[in-house]
Structure 1
Amino acid sequence: MNKITIEQFAILSTELQNSGPINLESNVKFSASIETRNVAVRMRFTFSQSNSPLLVLELVCYFELEEASWKSLYKGGEIIFPKDFLAHMAVHTVGTARGILFCKTENTPLNSLILPPLNVADMITEDFVIKKDN
């Protein structure tokens, strides 16, 4: 991991109800840069309660690959990032999000919000493929 950006952080409400579940919506997207041999993992988390949004966190973690590792991903005219490899990077991104969430909500009622264990392998159902420009 060579860079982290917080694309969005918004506390939309600090009104936590004493009862009722907290809902979490999450998604993950991938992109890559051939020039810098970077893979970007973008994750977004939205916490809500009783259909009222509480907090949104969107971050991007960038991972730089060594040249030999990058070249091993080339298959014909494509670069194929296996889903297991993507899941590995996503796990690190979730851990980073946990730290950001804790720091950004410190001394607020939302500091009790925690990213639960997420099975990112279930979120990533296929390899990420980009066409290599010749």
Structure 2
Amino acid sequence: MENIKFGLREIATLQFAILPDAYDSSAEKFQYSFGINFSFPDIEKRMICCSCLVKYEGKISPFLILEVAVYFEVEEESWDQLKGTKTNQIKLPKGTAHHMMSLTIGSARGILHSETKNTEFNRLILPTVNLNKLIDADVIQSIA
């Protein structure tokens, strides 16, 4: 599979919450957890959703939660490549998955900055993420 063509169609902030009681403003470094997900919400429209969930952790509980989803529409010819000969699964190549997730993480970084502008939480910057550790193979999804 080569050169999967797609376009960005929507960016959605699924969750954004600041819980100031769990925040220690004197801390120099913060722990965070990070998760990613791929889904295929509309097969007929050839849509792929990449989402990431970020939680900045306080000593007891998270103090900032951000979940972002980015929706991509795959061109028909490329979609046929993703489906291949197996009509009950989609195989998203690792390189394309990295590209889509990079766009999603970049969107999350921008949303975090925008949502925390002019607050003490603006010093939180989503660090760079090594996608090779998170996505180490093609993304394969069964479809009905």
TM-score (normalizing by structure 2): 0.84
1:129 counterpart = 2:140: yes
- Partner of 2:51 in structure 1? 42
- Deviation for aligned residue 1:21: 2.3
- Partner of 1:3 in structure 2? 10
User: For 1:43-77, what per-residue CA distance to the aligned partner results, in whole angstroms no more than 9, with x for missing partners?
Assistant: 00001233442200001000111111111112322
Distance in 1, Cα, partners of 2:58 & 2:142: 41
Distance in 1, Cα, partners of 2:50 & 2:82: 17
- Partner of 2:4 in structure 1? none
In structure 2, the CA distance between the partners of 1:132 and 1:18, relative to structure 1 (3 Å rule), is closer
1:113 counterpart = 2:124: yes
- Deviation for aligned residue 1:120: 1.8
CA contact 1:13–1:53 (8 Å) conserved in 2 = no
Query: 1:1-134 residue pairs with structure 2 within 5 A?
Result: 1-13=8-20, 15-32=23-40, 33-77=42-86, 78-133=89-144
Aligned length: 133
| Aligned-CA RMSD value | 1.6
User: Structure 2: 5+ residue runs without aligned partners?
Assistant: 1-7
- Deviation for aligned residue 1:79: 1.8
- Deviation for aligned residue 1:30: 0.4
TM-score (normalizing by structure 1): 0.90
Distance in 1, Cα, partners of 2:135 & 2:105: 14
Sequence identity percentage = 35
In structure 1, give the amino acid aligned to 2:12.
Answer: T
CA contact 1:20–1:49 (8 Å) conserved in 2 = no
User: Structure 1: 5+ residue runs without aligned partners?
Assistant: none
In structure 2, the CA distance between the partners of 1:100 and 1:116, relative to structure 1 (3 Å rule), is same
